[in-house]
Amino acid sequence: MSPPAERALRVAGTAAALALATVAAYGSFAGFEFVNWDDNVYVTANSRVKSGLSLESLRWALSAMAAHNWHPLTWVSHMLDVELFGLDAVGHHRTSLALHVLATLLLFRAFLRMTGALGRSAFAAGLFALHPLHVESVAWIAERKDVLSGLCFAGVLNLYAHYAERPSRLRYLWVFAATAAGLAAKPMLVTLPALLLLVDVWPLGRLRVARPIDRRRAFALVLEKLPLFALAAAASAMTVLAQGTAIALASHFTLGQRLGNALVSLARYLGATILPTGLSISYTHPGTWPATALLGAGLLLAGITLLSLRALPTRPWLAVGWLWYVGMLVPVIGVIQVGEQAMADRYTYLPSIGLFAIAAWGVPELVPRFRFRSHALALGALAVLAAFGVQTRAQVQYWRNSNALWQRAHAVDPLDPLALEVLGVLAEEQNRHAEALDLYRRALEIDPRRQNSQYNLGNLLLWYGRSAEALGPLREAVRIRPDFAVAYEALGHAYRDLGEATLSLQAFQRSVEIEPDAPNAQYNLGVGLLRAGRPREALTPFGEAARIRPDYTMAFVGLADAHMALGDRSAALADARRALALAREQGDTELAERIEGHFDELRSGSAR
């Protein structure tokens, strides 16, 4: 066999081994479910996605700012999964895994093309494929945007290497298109143009870093990427616009607290990459880190940065890998805080490749030369990958359902208020109401600023009939978050139960002002107006509720009562007939019987 044929066979065998190892680490996902953390936003409760692919859904995907992001390609991906698998979570999981496998293979090909180093390229790609930090990106259906953008990212590296070999407009156009696709999957790729400048230094060698630096060449390479920078700027603007609400919810963190957490998180991510233990979906933001933590993180990061830059002329992979890691984390490091977390495993999906490159090219330099050096390096690499693969397989199991996921978060950090809050929601869904009350209260003891815990506690107390007790947490929920529509709605119920008709009506009105497309809020406002003796005004919210949700039986009952109060028996009877028909269509026998009795009252003219 000729040397080229033998190398091609080795490359194909290595690629097959990477794919098989990745699939083995993640398993079949048999029995896995959607989880209760954003999977509803992206799939199970998203009517646009559940409708599958259509011209209307595609138009929505292109303009939607849902889920605090503009990522049309991600929405289309979820819609396609619904077309193929319906709401079978296993199929959605397998799509994410397939995308991760493809990204791994493209990353392997990119490193191999740019460096020619088969073993080192395979090790870097293997770390990407099997590292436990990446489980969140692959096993969480709502994080489809990660693996999809990762596939585009690896594609850009390949296309850029192809372009660099012999630049042409057509080849650049492919790079531009793949970058645009990646940004349409997740705005994480806004740093990609700068990253390509690093790739120009190493491994492509398009810019020599020996002094003096060729400034004309450097300027030409920057100029070359201006269209990509323009794409990144546009995606950044769209992201800031889409994430306005999420940023506002984390506004209680000061700039100093955010900068401090960013510094410590860079060090924590580095530690988790080297020794990935205690991984969780939730890492509590401490607010202010101790001075010792800030000083230690600062010294560590400054030392590594200085060392890598000094080694740039002789070991460019060290500086490039380190700047790759730090630079790609900048958009998600928390200086602009989105959400409440201190850090998140998913944020390392692409930045960690820089560290993997350092490991792949740096570790061999630390091993002295001896007879069986290459064999020892190969065995060592396989041992590391196998260990990570085993840990990844165990980590994947925490994503099989919501209970396993949040029990894991609670086990990692028993004082995590978010984990307590979500476990309370799960307990409430399973009718373990006393346990849910306790969990909400424990979450609020740790962090009383949690508007969701305040609302959940108040709403559950309301369900228990303890309306007076519910007022406190519900008032606190709307104080913390003045646009909390459902909390105002619950507050309206509490006031109504306590005989505070005016306050109840004000709360329902505020709920509708915030969220006018919520049928329940419209209906409750109608009931409040009707009870206040204002039937003509009640017609509007009842009508809105019926318009928003045409199968809303009680909205038509409300319309019937309002029309009857106004003396319009004909309209009242028509509304009552519609309500009765809906109840029967929905198979709600008990409600149908109640409406039928009400219908009889209307016909006799005795209903009030």
Residue-level pLDDT at 82: 97
Same domain, 419 and 321: no
Contact assessment for residue 43 and residue 79, using Cβ atoms and an 8 Å cutoff: no
Is 226 within a domain?
yes
Domain containing residue 598: CATH number:
1.25.40
Query: Which is nearest to 303 in space by CA: 274, 331, 266, 275?
Result: 266
Count structural domains, the chain: 3
Same domain, 189 and 57: yes
Same domain, 354 and 449: no
Residue-level pLDDT at 242: 78
Is 408 within a domain?
no
Is 407 within a domain?
no
Q: Specify which residues 284 forms β-bridges with.
A: 341
Is 524 within a domain?
no
Residue-level pLDDT at 608: 43
Helix (H) or strand (E) holding 163: helix 144-165
CA distance 18 to 1: 24
Same domain, 590 and 501: no
Same domain, 35 and 131: yes
Residue-level pLDDT at 539: 95
- Helix, coil or strand: residue 520: helix
Same domain, 493 and 585: no
CA distance 55 to 68: 23
Query: Which is nearest to 192 in space by CA: 151, 224, 232?
Result: 232
pLDDT per residue as tens digits for the range 402-419? 999 999 999 999 999 999
Is 49 within a domain?
yes
70 φ/ψ angles, rounded to the nearest 5 degrees: -110, 105
Sequence-distant (6+) residues with CB within 8 A of 286 are 261, 342
Residue-level pLDDT at 247: 56
- If you write DSSP's letter for every residue of 426-467 in order, what string do you get? HHHHTT-HHHHHHHHHHHHHH-TT-HHHHHHHHHHHHHTT-H
Written as one letter, the residue type at 545 is A
Same domain, 362 and 492: no
Is 184 within a domain?
yes
pLDDT < 70 positions in the chain: 244-251, 602-603, 605-608
Predicted TM-score (pTM) above 0.85: yes
Q: Where does a domain end: 515, 548, 576?
A: 515
Q: How far is CA 325 from the centre of its chain?
A: 20
Tell me if the bond preceding 448 is cis, omega within 30° of 0: no
Q: Where does a domain end: 515, 540, 566?
A: 515
Is 409 within a domain?
no
Residue-level pLDDT at 341: 86
Residue-level pLDDT at 239: 84
Query: Which is nearest to 384 in space by CA: 139, 138, 126?
Result: 126
Q: Which domain holds residue 90?
A: 3-402
